[in-house]
Amino acid sequence: MWKDVKVDRWESQVEIQVPESAMIIEPEAKGGQSSDPIEKIKRALKNPLGMERIRAIVNRGSRVAIAFDDPTKLSPNYLAIPVILDELHEAGVKKDNIVLVSANGTHRKYTPSEYIEYRNVGYGLPPGKGIPKIPKEILYDFWPHRFIQHNGANTKNFVNMGYSRLGDLVECNRILVDHDLVIYVGGAQPMKWGGYGGTGVVIGLSSAESIASHHTVRVIGHKESCHADPRTHLYRAHKDAVMEKIEESIGKKVFYVEGVVNGAREWTDFFAGHFKEIQEPAWKAGDQDRLYPAEQADVIIAGLPRWCAPYDTSRNPLVCVSAASSILRMWVGKPILREGGILILIAVCDGFIDTTALPSYPEVIDLFGKMGNAQRLEEKYLEEFLFFREDYLKKHMAGAANHPVHPFWLCAETQYVHDHVGKLIIATAENPEAVRKVGGTWAEDFGQAWKMAEKLVGKNPRCLVLPTFFSRFPFKFAVK
């Protein structure tokens, strides 16, 4: 027996037939909306965890940097930054002593309009609709002279702080040293990288070389990083160790303000203070809304909308495999797909890559195909793309492009997909060669993909269907 299900594909949905017994999970817009998110931010700032209130830390002569997640991340910047500025004003901090800092990590620079509303996102938004980032009047008050965009290759702005207790290089933007207080605004949303977001200084304000210490197969590809429980997550432990080294080096604490969002994109909880003290409360708040019970599957089927990554579309084959890792790494308890199971993606995947923003991607994808796995790719080419590819580095320094090493992070995270699945099938893809380059198997349509799956897992597999996993807000699987 079969049933019809509509799944995402680009900017619409396609209908497929799946077994009657298939489990279907559609993220719900559940959770309690904050009746007054601004009031909750104010309350968090008045009662920070593990730190004094901002006004007790600063004075009229203090130099303050307000850093924040860059536009690609879901972050409450537009709500929190105005409240923080009011707090600083009430403390007497001079306006000219405050800077805004976009924590871009190894991403490109962004335009003023992208800081007002970022459009390269999904989360159930109609095409062309974006997410607000910074209030326009505040942006133009600071732009350009008191607005800093971090650049992962701009070595003159870095301070070497040594190595963390786990052996990672710690090299960060000198704003952490030059300012009396750094306040960081971010979101603690479900993520395959660490279980939840947060502690954004570690990535957003670090050099590419520092990020490479923990963004490679050694850490992010390790089996202890391939799940979504932040309490036992190896990559999360590395982030914490780096943050500890940063604070030890600068001799002061970073003041974090982090928000938790529900499935309707409503900010429901806010936590402020020291990074270690706010983690557990934020995780608990996220778990209440974003943990979905599920049974381990033999086959997972998912539709990919236009945007399933914030920096390129599902036409990009590496983005498609990154989407696969977003599903397979978002579990607690035990893997959502059994080892050797089948993952079927419904995607355009025609091979087109935005080479203005991602110029190194085509070359790295080709090299990944030749090397066969992320470990060998890193061993032979990571250093070259990290330091020596001036053709790509010039574009990143100019601001229009991601750092040339950026696709290596995706290759590292997706190695788990290739190691864990029996077969990754991308059905309805419009370029079979693009699918093969990233280690996938092409199927002309879903019917053909299902026949391939049955040959490997039998006629009655446990099947999980995710029609809108990427076009609604992310969640995690609590697997029995």
For the cut 80, the answer to whether the pLDDT of residue 29 exceeds it is: no
Domain ranges in the chain are: 2-26+295-479, 37-290
DSSP 125: P
pLDDT score for 31: 52
266: buried, middle or exposed (CB in 10 Å: 19+, 13-18, 0-12)? middle
Q: 273: phi > 0 → left, psi -120 to 50 → alpha, else beta; which?
A: left
Task: Check: CB of residue 50 under 8 Å from CB of residue 274.
Answer: yes
| Nearest Cα residue to 442 out of 433, 455, 453 | 433
* SS3 at position 99: strand
- The amino acid sitting at 212 is A
Beta bridge partners of 425: 344, 441
Q: 91-124: per-residue pLDDT in tens?
A: 999 999 999 999 999 999 999 999 999 988 777 7
Per-residue confidence band for 34, with pLDDT thresholds at 50, 70 and 90: low
∠238-149-52 over CA atoms, to 5°? 60
What is the architecture of the domain spanning 37-290? 3-Layer(aba) Sandwich (3.40)
What is the pTM for the complete model shown?
A: 0.96
CATH of domain 2-26+295-479: 3.90.226.30
CA distances from 457 to 3, 259, 341, 461 (A): 20, 42, 7, 6
CA distances from 472 to 29, 307, 313, 464 (A): 9, 11, 16, 17
For the cut 90, the answer to whether the pLDDT of residue 266 exceeds it is: no
pLDDT score for 161: 98
Alpha-helical runs (H) found in 403-445 = 406-420, 432-437
Phi, psi of 333 (to 5 degrees): 100, -75
| Nearest Cα residue to 447 out of 348, 350, 346, 351 | 346
For the cut 60, the answer to whether the pLDDT of residue 126 exceeds it is: yes
For the cut 70, the answer to whether the pLDDT of residue 185 exceeds it is: yes
Task: Check: CB of residue 67 under 8 Å from CB of residue 200.
Answer: yes
Return the residue matching tokens 């893809």: 429
| Nearest Cα residue to 125 out of 74, 49, 169, 172 | 74
CA distances from 89 to 55, 141, 345, 372 (A): 9, 15, 51, 55
Per-residue confidence band for 30, with pLDDT thresholds at 50, 70 and 90: low
> Number of helices (H) and strands (E), helices first, in the chain?
18, 23
Beta bridge partners of 181: 64
* Residue 325, token pair as written in the block: 């890792």
Computed over every residue of the chain, the mean pLDDT equals: 95
* Residue 44, token pair as written in the block: 């968090």
* SS3 at position 223: helix
Beta bridge partners of 48: none
